[in-house]
Each structure stands twice: as structure tokens, then as C-alpha cells.
Amino acid sequence: MKPFLSTSRKLLPLLSLAALCLAEPVFAQRAEETSPQPVGIERVDTFRYLVRISNPALQKARLQLVRLSDSVVLYEENSAKATFGQKLNVQSLPDGQYAIVVRVGPQQYRYTLQLQTETHRTTDLSTASVVLRPTNKLR
């Protein structure tokens, strides 16, 4: 009878290979279940955002920039292309809350954008310089 340790050394590569073979369908299934995000927003600089929309099913799609205080649509683009997008410049907009709303078929994606001007008030206190003046107490 062979000792358990020598037998387990021979079985270890086979068990590892079997585990990999069995695990592969699970990974493939997970990859199929997860689909890429259809909307991507990238901040280009302080006031510009690049909005990208993926629409592989060629459904009706819409991109809007909405002012939330009164629900006014400031920008709108409609498309049924496989991919489309726009660079949004919000620098000239007044302070407030806005939403980037994307609809692809029945799905809606909403991203809130807060514009706020910050005024920085600063002070600078320099180091005090001390001047010693001789006192003349001799009279």
C-alpha cells in the first residue's frame, strides 16, 4: 500500500485540472450574463463631460440635459444609431442642480450634476518683525 502523501502528490495535478474544467462553464455563464454599461460619462475637464451611449439593438434613444429646478430641457439629442454621444459644456450654466438623462429603449439612466460657484476667501498674516529701540533713561 502506498503512503497517502505520495498518492496525493500524484492526484493533485489531476484534481486541479478537473477543477479548472468544471469552473470554466461558470465563468463563461457569468460573462454572458453581464452586459456592458450602455451609458458612459467621462469628465473631460472642469466643465465638460463626454457622454457615450451604446445602443446595439438600434432602439430609439435620447440624451437630455435638464435643469431640475423647473424641469426645463436645455439640450436634447435623439438617435437610433448603434453608438452616439455628445460633449456637454456646462460652464455657462448658472449654479443649480441639473440632470443628464439618457433613455435607450425602455431603460432610463439619470446622472445628477451639481453646479456651485465657490468663492474662496483667504487671509495672509506675515511674520511680525520686532524692532527694539534703545531707551535713554540716563538724564
pLDDT digits (tens, 9 = 90+) for 110-139: 999 999 888 876 666 766 666 666 766 665
Cα 24 → chain centroid: 31
What's the CATH number for 39-115?
Answer: 2.60.40.10
Region for 20 from its dihedrals, namely left if φ exceeds 0, alpha if ψ lies in -120 to 50, beta otherwise: alpha
In whole angstroms, give the CA distance from residue 55 to residue 104.
7
What pLDDT, on a 0 to 100 scale, did the predictor assign at position 17?
43
What pLDDT, on a 0 to 100 scale, did the predictor assign at position 119?
80
Grid cell for residue 76: 436634447
What pLDDT, on a 0 to 100 scale, did the predictor assign at position 75?
97
- Name the stretches of the chain with pLDDT < 50: 4-5, 7, 11-12, 14-33
Contact yes or no for 56/37 (Cβ under 8 A) = no
Q: What is the Rg, in whole angstroms, of the alpha carbon atoms belonging to the chain?
A: 32
